[in-house]
Amino acid sequence: MYLLVSCGNPNICGDMVKKYQIIYADPPWRQSKGGLRKCRPNQSKKLDYPTMKLRDIRNIINSCPKENNHTLFIWTIDKFLKDTEELFSDYKLHARIIWDKENGVAPAFTVRYSHEYLLWFYKPPMMKIQESFRGRFTTVLREPSTKHSKKPKIARGMIECLYPLERRIELFAREKTLGWDVWGNEVESDIILALRKEPKCHLKVRKR
Ligand SMILES: C[S@@+](CC[C@H](N)C(=O)[O-])C[C@H]1O[C@@H](n2cnc3c(N)ncnc32)[C@H](O)[C@@H]1O
């Protein structure tokens, strides 16, 4: 690893590399916007941000400085669920948490896709959660979605309750949150990631 990392506070970090215990990531999966209406011909299918190949997403997460024994919470959608699990098959999968966003688009006017996944991976042994929150959350988080790709507050809140004292970073963040370091192209990042050279990834987006 050859990462240059600073938390901005020399009393805490000095020149040492800060290693995270919790990684929370919401990658820009390669997809386009669903739910476009014929009555709005000027609406674009393109997302408002650049998307990434699977290999690059893995590279970024792998390059983030972390303790050997760490936890990765990563957002994914139905289309990439299997790919995400394959991409991080060197982790143990603890839970597929579902966000019920109480609304969503209905492809071909069928059922409304109203959920996304927050996958909980860890490198064993699993870090113990805060005792007072044992069994307090369920695998379904319910919060109405607000704008495209914005994740519910309840997810970050849950992680803060489970792991209040651990060193946490949010990757692909859009906003700075108290108690978290952040990294992304729409936010002032706390770290610089020196990307590792990755072997070719044979995963391709599946056609479904
Ligand atoms: C799915 S969005 C994250 C949404 C965020 N979690 C929220 O709740 O608002 C993915 C983010 O990754 C960012 N992104 C795309 N390509 C990037 C790159 N090469 N480096 C850093 N961030 C990138 C996008 O601009 C976008 O902010």
Q: Tell me: the pLDDT tens digits for 18-73?
A: 999 999 999 999 987 765 556 566 666 678 999 999 999 999 999 999 999 999 99
User: Can you tell me the mean pLDDT for 172-185?
Assistant: 97
Which of 98, 146, 94 minimizes the C-alpha distance to 125?
94
Q: In this structure, is residue 2 part of a structural domain?
A: no
Beta strands at 92-100 and 140-142: parallel, antiparallel or unpaired:
parallel
Number of domains in the chain: 1
pLDDT range class, residue 6, cuts 50, 70, 90: very low
**Ligand 1: does its nearest atom lie under 6 Å from the Cβ of 101?**
no
**Ligand 1: does its nearest atom lie under 6 Å from the Cβ of 80?**
no
- Distance from Cα 120 to the centre of ligand 1, integer Å: 19
Judge residue 14's burial from the number of C-beta atoms within 10 Å of its C-beta, 0-12 exposed, 13-18 middle, 19 or more buried. Answer: exposed
**Ligand 1: does its nearest atom lie under 6 Å from the Cβ of 10?**
no
Q: In this structure, is residue 207 part of a structural domain?
A: no
Q: In this structure, is residue 95 part of a structural domain?
A: yes
- Distance from Cα 29 to the centre of ligand 1, integer Å: 9
pTM of the predicted structure, to 2 decimals:
0.88
Give the CATH number for residue 148.
3.40.50.150
Question: What pLDDT is stored for residue 13 in this prediction?
Answer: 47
List phi, psi (to 5°) of 150.
-75, 130
Q: In this structure, is residue 171 part of a structural domain?
A: no
Atom of ligand 1 nearest to the CA of 49: 25
List the residue whose alpha carbon is closest to atom 13 of ligand 1: 172
Residues spanned by the domain of 56: 22-31+48-164
Contact status, residue 170 vs residue 27, Cβ threshold 8 Å: no
Q: How far is CA 30 from the centre of its chain?
A: 14
**Ligand 1, residues 32, 154, 172, 175: which to mutate, most atoms within 8 A of Cβ?**
172
* C-alpha span between 57 and 110 (Å, rounded): 31
Q: What is the CA radius of gyration of the chain?
A: 18
Percent of the chain residues topping a pLDDT of 70:
80
Q: Which residue has the tokens 């290693």?
A: 19
89 contacts: CB under 8 Å, gap ≥ 6: none
List phi, psi (to 5°) of 78.
-50, -45
Question: What pLDDT is stored for residue 194 in this prediction?
Answer: 83
- Distance from Cα 173 to the centre of ligand 1, integer Å: 6
Question: What pLDDT is stored for residue 203 in this prediction?
Answer: 56
- Distance from Cα 10 to the centre of ligand 1, integer Å: 28
Question: What pLDDT is stored for residue 61 in this prediction?
Answer: 97
Q: In this structure, is residue 57 part of a structural domain?
A: yes
Q: In this structure, is residue 134 part of a structural domain?
A: yes
Percent of the chain residues topping a pLDDT of 90:
73
Question: What pLDDT is stored for residue 174 in this prediction?
Answer: 98
- Distance from Cα 52 to the centre of ligand 1, integer Å: 10
Q: In this structure, is residue 121 part of a structural domain?
A: yes
Q: In this structure, is residue 56 part of a structural domain?
A: yes
Q: Tell me: the pLDDT tens digits for 115-147?
A: 999 999 999 999 999 999 999 999 999 999 999
